[in-house]
Structure 1
């Protein structure tokens, strides 16, 4: 069976709902802020509330799998249900698991998140290419087969990332630039947008020395609590800004547990981002 590619579905969702990704990050401090216990019951209440408030109106929801996995099988069961309910409400789900390995292990990770029969099937998966981009081949192939996508860590916002991503190869190109070039090759000829994107931090300032025109989405953490604003996006991403999917987590989640407040925060960020990236 042929599935509509992730890139096409994401482009439509961004155009219809605005280019916003809301993170679902139920870490202990945030559960406490919501008056919830740091347990499976608190996890379930938190996740369901975020899905209820946002899944019918934002383009993308991005659960961070680690915050569910720490509760063992019961936490993973909550994650499965959250993914199912978010997708049923119309949001695309990017699983933030940052998987990266080689051979059969990478293939198993891909089966876990990118096969349509998997309980945790997601529209896209974050992956780490730092065992070599070629190590991602099983995930690339399975994503294509199932109409899913990948977001490859390329230029991340954490300061430690620079020692790897800004390292210069023997050919004079940085490692991060090499990852972007691989993604451009994956997406060549895909319309309206390819399914293989990069993670590029919105807090990194001028990125004009990098070719961000990969014909795919750019997942951009850093808006809100990390200090970047919607107004910063054109200066950071230049001509590629239309394909940027800014991720906001704490900036929205701090307004919980009230559903109406969560919705209002998400809608405010979506409108600010839409206005910032609209063609002049």
Structure 2
């Protein structure tokens, strides 16, 4: 017996096989909207989002709207976001909702239903999440991952300086908080894949739960090993920091080592600055540079 719908990890693996590793950010900051020649409002954010989707389709692995920058416009912002998502679905482009939700019990389950439930107005393919209350606090989303082909990206090591104290803290089991997020995601993927295989499903090369690791960081400082990974599907790594923030995609193998086998390189300002003129060219150039660097 096989699963009726493809997994998020399986869809990512197909993008990687096609040479698509760029995650194109959609960040409608006021200054970037000015580059677009539009107002700092929901309509302007929608214009940016739909332009990026059109330019990224068939070139990038996914788009990642920064939800807070739509949410600031209230209901009009969410309506704009729905139309961006609809364009992405029509174009066959994966959407990672950058919502960074985290809570416990029924509250987190409600967040998961809002962003991952099939047919929901704001349905995305994956969402960013926070699991500092414990990895199992994400349980409300696991059903969507297991049965609806959805994905999660768990914050593990981020570039903001104020996060270092928490993420580098050592737990009672000897792991840093950041390393535990990585290990727990890998363990969940391994167990889920074993269950799928036992049920007759074709194994996936990539897991459906990934982590967020900043490309500007020294991962060893966070207790994260970058050597050989445990057996099982590759861990998806969503890596912000390339481009505008200073990390070079040419250094990806040094930065991530073995943990970067399923790397999504996120770029936002480097492709958004300049507005819609030349947008498709910038996305194509960055996608090609990322593909070349990761194939070496």
Shorter-chain TM band: over 0.9
Across the aligned residues of Structure 1 and Structure 2, the Cα RMSD in angstroms comes to 1.6
The aligned runs of 1:1-150 (5 Å cut-off) are: 2-150=4-152
Q: 1: CA distance between counterparts of 2:25 and 2:152?
A: 16
Cα shift at 1:14:
2.2
Cα shift at 1:206:
5.0
Alignment deviations for residues 61-94 of structure 1 (CA, whole Å, 9 cap, x no partner): 0001111111111110110110111121121100
Alignment deviations for residues 207-250 of structure 1 (CA, whole Å, 9 cap, x no partner): 49523537220000000110001111111111232311010000
Cα shift at 1:169:
1.2
Q: Normalising by structure 1, what TM-score?
A: 0.94
Q: 1: CA distance between counterparts of 2:219 and 2:43?
A: 43
Q: 2: CA distance between counterparts of 1:125 and 1:206?
A: 23
Q: Normalising by structure 2, what TM-score?
A: 0.89
Structure 1 stretches lacking a partner, 5+ long: none
The answer on 1:242 being equivalent to 2:261 is yes
Structure 2 stretches lacking a partner, 5+ long: 194-202
CA contact (8 A) 1:55 1:87 kept: no
Alignment deviations for residues 143-197 of structure 1 (CA, whole Å, 9 cap, x no partner): 2221000000011122222111111112221011111111011111452111000
Cα shift at 1:10:
0.7
Of 98-107 and 132-141, more deviation after overlay is shown by: 132-141
The answer on 1:210 being equivalent to 2:224 is yes
Q: 1: CA distance between counterparts of 2:291 and 2:66?
A: 24
Q: State the match for 1:271 in structure 2.
A: 288
Query: Match of 1:95, SS?
Result: strand
Query: Match of 2:181, SS?
Result: helix
Of 197-206 and 93-102, more deviation after overlay is shown by: 197-206
Q: 2: CA distance between counterparts of 1:204 and 1:9?
A: 28
CA contact (8 A) 1:126 1:150 kept: yes
Number of aligned positions between the proteins? 277
Q: State the match for 2:200 in structure 1.
A: none
Q: 1: CA distance between counterparts of 2:208 and 2:133?
A: 21
Q: 2: CA distance between counterparts of 1:270 and 1:65?
A: 23
Q: 1: CA distance between counterparts of 2:204 and 2:44?
A: 42
